[in-house]
């Protein structure tokens, strides 16, 4: 009996040894997989996130965030598509329309005149609408950016929408309605809207006058040389563009100008080519977000509940990161994968939240220079639709 047990034990042990040896050989035969698949990072909603190897060009480094656990986000509409289809209408205060029972358009009596920091949004579509801080809408008396992440439910009454102006020099009627600009304000501007909620700082950031590089200059651990080449887009160069091509200081016109737009598109094309190559062979995982570094400093992250949502926002997010990179020192220093993993961990510290029962929960956590914002949908089932983390320029 003992002899039989010993044979069984030896057989099981040998099987385990052979299995372990096979795993070791497979890992060594594919070093790229071993290097990329670091430890899972806790993520909102419990899904595990992993980072792929960095993608770098000039002073911009992108770390793709991937996950095997994806939510179904098809029930939600995004701002650009809803404006394009007419499912959503955005107007100045006092200019929005309502429909009578006969279907004729009727102007509602204005209770207040147009206001710089508030528009009116009507969701006429059949899906809840996602709004992200920093999305640009153009038209009205001046272009604006959305001030805060939120969800607008189906059939909601006209919503007083908090916004920030990104066209300082115009206050005249263009179209009475706003269109989606298919643009996202670059991180220095988004931060002033989403976190600081300060109009004067938004204007300064649009003109390139905010202290966008203060983190690098004040951080004793940064690896950016003190004699780094100047930024490609200085405040002086932006002033030149404003004077010649964007006299109303329109954010959209500035970054679509010949002097700026060509640089942005060429830069974005280089990153996109590298991004496609790095993410084309994924098996069982999809890209749901990115961690972003400028030079040697990890400074930003956008992540979503699904790869579908990420793919919708990615083109304008990429260009926003490129614009930010062009306004920073032209160093070739790069952040490490460990730096990006550390940044991806949820922030702990002072927190506050706002909730619309049955629709969404908005939560902000701040600790030192780090701010984190989560937009959680409460229906049709709870899920964190968007997760934003930023190293603030204080």
Of the listed ranges 16-20, 187-191, 200-204, 363-367, the least confidently predicted one is 16-20
> 17: helix, coil or strand?
helix
Confirm if 157 and 187 have CB atoms less than 8 A apart: no
pLDDT at 212 over 60: no
Confirm if 272 and 279 have CB atoms less than 8 A apart: no
**Domain around 242:** 38-218+229-391
Q: Report CA dihedral (306, 337, 228, 217) to the nearest 10 degrees.
A: 80
For residues 355 and 258, the model is more confident at 355
What is the distance between the alpha carbons of residues 51 and 345, in angstroms, rounded to a whole number?
A: 12
pLDDT at 110 over 60: no
Of the listed ranges 54-58, 142-146, 233-237, 356-360, the least confidently predicted one is 233-237
Exposure string for 88-118, b = 16+ CB within 10 A, e = fewer: bbbbbbebbbeeeeeeeeeeeeeeeebeeeb
Q: How much is the average pLDDT of 299-321?
A: 96
> Considering the domain boundaries, does residue 143 fall inside one?
yes
pLDDT value of residue 221 = 40
- Rounded (5°) CA angle 378-180-98: 75
Query: With a threshold of 0.85, does the pTM exceed it?
Result: no
> Considering the domain boundaries, does residue 154 fall inside one?
yes
How many C-beta neighbours within 10 Å does residue 357 have? Answer: 8
Strands 77-78 and 129-131: parallel
Number of domains composing the chain = 1
pLDDT value of residue 96 = 56
> Considering the domain boundaries, does residue 140 fall inside one?
yes
Confirm if 296 and 331 have CB atoms less than 8 A apart: yes
Tell me the three-class secondary structure of 154-216, residue by residue.
CCCCCEEEEEEECECCCCCCCCCEEEEEEEECCHHHHHHHHHHCCHHHHHHHHCCCCCCCHHH
> Considering the domain boundaries, does residue 62 fall inside one?
yes
Question: What token pair was written down for 294?
Answer: 């400028």
What is the distance between the alpha carbons of residues 284 and 314, in angstroms, rounded to a whole number?
A: 20
- Tell me the pLDDT tens digit for each residue of 296-308: 999 999 999 999 9
For residues 220 and 62, the model is more confident at 62
Q: How much is the average pLDDT of 21-43?
A: 43
Strands 135-139 and 118-123: unpaired
What is the distance between the alpha carbons of residues 197 and 191, in angstroms, rounded to a whole number?
A: 8
Confirm if 304 and 288 have CB atoms less than 8 A apart: yes
- Tell me the pLDDT tens digit for each residue of 147-196: 999 999 999 999 999 999 877 656 566 667 888 888 998 999 899 989 98
pLDDT at 33 over 80: no
> Considering the domain boundaries, does residue 106 fall inside one?
yes
> Considering the domain boundaries, does residue 343 fall inside one?
yes
> Considering the domain boundaries, does residue 31 fall inside one?
no
pLDDT value of residue 231 = 64
pLDDT value of residue 330 = 76
> Considering the domain boundaries, does residue 23 fall inside one?
no
For residues 320 and 39, the model is more confident at 320
Please report which confidence band the pLDDT of residue 340 belongs to, taking 50, 70 and 90 as the band edges: very high
- Tell me the pLDDT tens digit for each residue of 66-102: 999 889 999 999 999 999 999 999 998 866 544 333 3
Number of helical (H) and strand (E) elements in the chain, helices listed first:
11, 20
């Amino acid at each position: 009996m003992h002899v039989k047990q010993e044979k069984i034990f030896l057989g099981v042990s040998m099987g385990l040894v052979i299995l372990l040896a096979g795993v070791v050989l497979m890992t060594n035969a594919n070093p790229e997989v071993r290097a990329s698949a670091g430890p899972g990072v806790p993520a909102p909603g419990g899904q595990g996130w992993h980072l792929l190897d960095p993608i770098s060009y000039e002073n911009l480094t992108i770390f793709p965030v991937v996950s095997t656990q994806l939510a179904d986000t098809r029930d939600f509409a995004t701002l650009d598509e809803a404006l394009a289809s007419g499912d959503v209408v955005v107007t100045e205060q006092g200019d929005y329309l309502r429909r009578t029972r006969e279907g004729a358009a009727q102007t509602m009596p204005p209770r207040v005149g147009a206001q710089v920091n508030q528009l009116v949004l009507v969701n006429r579509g059949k899906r809840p609408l996602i709004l992200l801080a920093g999305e640009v809408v153009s038209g009205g008396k001046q272009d604006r950016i959305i001030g805060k992440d939120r969800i607008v439910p189906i059939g909601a009454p006209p919503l007083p929408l908090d916004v920030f102006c990104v066209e300082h020099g115009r206050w005249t009627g263009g179209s009475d309605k706003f269109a989606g600009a298919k643009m996202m304000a670059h991180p220095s501007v988004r931060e002033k809207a989403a976190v600081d909620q300060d109009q004067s700082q938004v204007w300064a950031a649009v003109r390139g006058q905010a202290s966008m590089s203060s983190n690098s200059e004040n951080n004793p651990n940064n690896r950016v040389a003190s004699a780094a080449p100047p930024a490609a887009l200085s405040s002086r160069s932006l002033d030149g563009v404003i004077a010649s091509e964007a006299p109303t200081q329109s954010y959209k016109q500035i970054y679509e100008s010949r002097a700026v737009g060509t640089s942005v598109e060429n830069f974005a094309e280089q990153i996109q080519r590298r991004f496609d190559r790095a993410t084309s062979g994924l098996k069982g995982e999809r890209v749901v977000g990115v961690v972003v570094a400028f030079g040697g400093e990890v400074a930003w992250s956008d992540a979503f509940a699904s790869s579908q949502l990420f793919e919708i926002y990615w083109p304008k997010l990429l260009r926003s990161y490129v614009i930010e990179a062009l306004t920073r020192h032209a160093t070739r220093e790069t952040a490490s994968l460990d730096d990006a993993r550390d940044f991806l961990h949820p922030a702990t510290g002072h927190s506050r939240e706002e909730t619309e029962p049955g629709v969404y929960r908005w939560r902000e956590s701040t600790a030192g220079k780090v701010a984190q914002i989560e937009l959680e949908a409460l229906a049709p089932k709870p899920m964190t639709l968007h997760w934003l983390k930023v190293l603030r320029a204080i």
